[in-house]
Structure 1
Amino acid sequence: MHTWHWQTWQGLSYLTCSVLEPYSHGFFTQQFSPRPPEELVNVLDAEAQVYRVKQVHGDVVLTPSEVEIIQSQTAGKLETAPPLPDADGLLTDDSDQAVWVCSADCTPVLIADVESGQVAAIHAGWRGTAAEIVPKAIVRLQDQGSQLQNLRIAMGPAIAGDVYQVSTTVAAEIGATLVPSALTHSPESILEALYQLPHSPLLADPQPGRARIDVRQVSVLQLEKMGIQPDQVAIAPYCTYQSPEHFFSYRRNRLKKVQWSGIVSG
């Protein structure tokens, strides 16, 4: 059973998970705001090179080398620092690289390969989850030589399914990846198939046309389809919406504030 631990740095709290040991990592709380990753990396490994992207709720996962190439293509045309590339995930391609994602209610996913030393950080909102961003990140790790059995995955604090109300159309879009294609001809057929799943991510909602869905559980089931075993995955027992003392929640406050999560390659 994987355990989550509160750590403190200069009196501020952040979370770590035993599944990612011994890699330096952290799911940071709102108390660290507005510190950027360039400062937060000092908590994990001050020598690590920091990488982040401009998150756009998509399914693109880049390596630091790709980030640098994209930025170099625009650097000469600008007087300021080149903009961050659009993406929602990063996977390392060298040692001592710190990759970061930010979130409010979306899921921050940190992945480590216990053999190769490579790691990844993924921002998995509902759109990214519908586009299978976490499985796509794992395919990219496999392309770099990772074996599925060597991966360890921690899904950080995010909005919990029992309070995440969405339209049935959105719920069907998120869950369609778990349903045989023959059953994806309508939102109703997708939802009915989702309800039948063991450990279903779909929860009933009393309001017509609405549903509640556990987005982290959708990612877990996507990974199971790939062959990832349950003991390779840990889910933080914290809901951003229901933990105002620790985490920003866009759905709760409608403020564009975020907390960061990061991990350093070995």
Structure 2
Amino acid sequence: MSEIEIIRARALGDVPHGFFWRRGGVSRGAVAGLNCGLGSGDDPKLVRENRRLAAEAVLPGARLVGVHQVHGNACVVAGEWSDDERPHADALVTERPGVLLAVVTADCAPVLLADPSAGVVAAVHAGWRGAVAGVTDSAIAAMLRLGARIERISAAIGPAIAQRNYEVDHDFAAGLGEGGERFLADGPAGKPHFDLEAFVAARLAAAGVTRVEALGLDTYADVARFYSYRRATHRGEPTYGRQISLIGLAG
């Protein structure tokens, strides 16, 4: 097992957090590395060990809490549920120290948010459907209800598929709403390509978040570092892993 590597965002400062690469971990085969996807078909024991290793690397002793992601816009306050009882949602928030919020991705955009002064954090899984439906807006609203203030919230967008590798259909723009065409560019095969990272950043800015850091890391192109659903599909691979993104509050 190689050493686990963590990507941290300057925008989140000293708040315990991390976007993880696939390096390290105990999974083998097509999902070799730090596969943290409970729905990946990997051995659940290995996945849980990978999730434990990631949590210990960010906030030792913290309780990791995730959701059953469904590409929607629901946000929940982190609770005491087990992995088998995860609610269906795509974002979660907490103001409780010792809790690590988790989302897993494999091309969709992971978004971590924090208001350190209020002691409120959020984690978001933003695929294009969730992003268009306002999943980041839901997370921000939940943070505000827990005492955060919009002018103090910082956000970071982690590894996601880049526009150059995200080909979509010609009618895709219709689902993006007014002004959505600015996030599309002509691709080499004559179809448009979608800039998911820029779209998510724009939604965050429109909601009033003034400090947004986009890491610009392409899950599709970087085979050694990241899992990618679209790359695995194009290659005809039997399954694909998921990288995890975590944020929490120290006690």
2:44 corresponds in structure 1 to: none
Shift of 1:57: 1.1
Partner of 1:215: 196
Letter in 1 for 2:161: I
For residues 154-190 of structure 1, give each alpha carbon's deviation from its aligned partner in whole angstroms, at most 9, with x where no partner exists: 00010011220011323331x21xx2xxxxxxxxxxx
CA contact (8 A) 1:98 1:264 kept: yes
2:84 & 2:198 partners in 1: Cα distance?
A: 36
Equivalences for 1:1-266 in 2 at 5 Å? 11-31=3-23, 32=25, 33-34=34-35, 35-65=49-79, 68=81, 82-173=84-175, 175-176=176-177, 179=178, 193-195=179-181, 200-207=182-189, 210-229=191-210, 232-254=211-233, 255-266=239-250
Q: SS state of the match for residue 216, structure 1?
A: helix
How many residues were matched structurally? 223
Q: What do residues 62-101 of structure 1 show as CA deviations (whole Å, max 9, x unaligned)?
A: 1113x64xx7xxxxxxxxx742221111111311210001
**Letter paired with 1:92:** T
C-alpha separation in 1, matches of 2:52 and 2:76: 19
SS of 1:62's partner is strand
The 10-residue stretch of structure 1 (84-93 or 97-106) with the greater mean CA deviation from structure 2: 84-93
Whole-angstrom CA distance in 2 between matches of 1:238 and 1:227: 24
Give 1:262's aligned amino acid: L
Query: 1:206, CA displacement in angstroms?
Result: 4.9
Tell me the TM-score normalised to structure 1 length.
0.78
**Quick one: percent identity of the two aligned structures?**
29
Report the secondary structure of 1:165's partner residue.
coil
**Greater Rg by CA:** 1
The Cα of 1:220 is off from its aligned counterpart by 1.4
**Counterparts of 2:224 and 2:231, CA distance in 1:** 12
2:204·2:212 contact (CA, 8 Å) conserved in 1?
Answer: no
**Counterpart AA for 1:212:** H
CA distance in structure 2 between the aligned counterparts of 1:51 and 1:64, rounded to whole angstroms: 7
| Structure 2 contact 154–209 (Cα < 8 Å) conserved | no
Q: Which segments of 5 or more consecutive residues in structure 1 lack a partner in the other structure?
A: 1-8, 72-80, 180-192
How far apart, in 2, do the equivalents of 1:84 and 1:36 lie? 18
Q: State the alpha-carbon separation in 1 of the partners of residues 7 and 222 from structure 2.
A: 14
Deviation per CA, 1:91-123, whole angstroms, max 9, x where unpaired?
A: 113112100010010001111112112111111
How far the C-alpha of 1:253 sits from its partner, in A, is 1.4
Contact 1:132 1:219 in 2 (8 A): no
Q: TM-score, normalised by structure 2?
A: 0.82
Q: CA RMSD in A?
A: 2.0
Which residue of structure 2 lines up, in the alignment, with residue 77 of structure 1?
Answer: none
Q: 1:150 to 1:252 in 2, by over 3 A?
A: same
Unaligned runs of 5+ in 2: 26-33, 36-48, 234-238
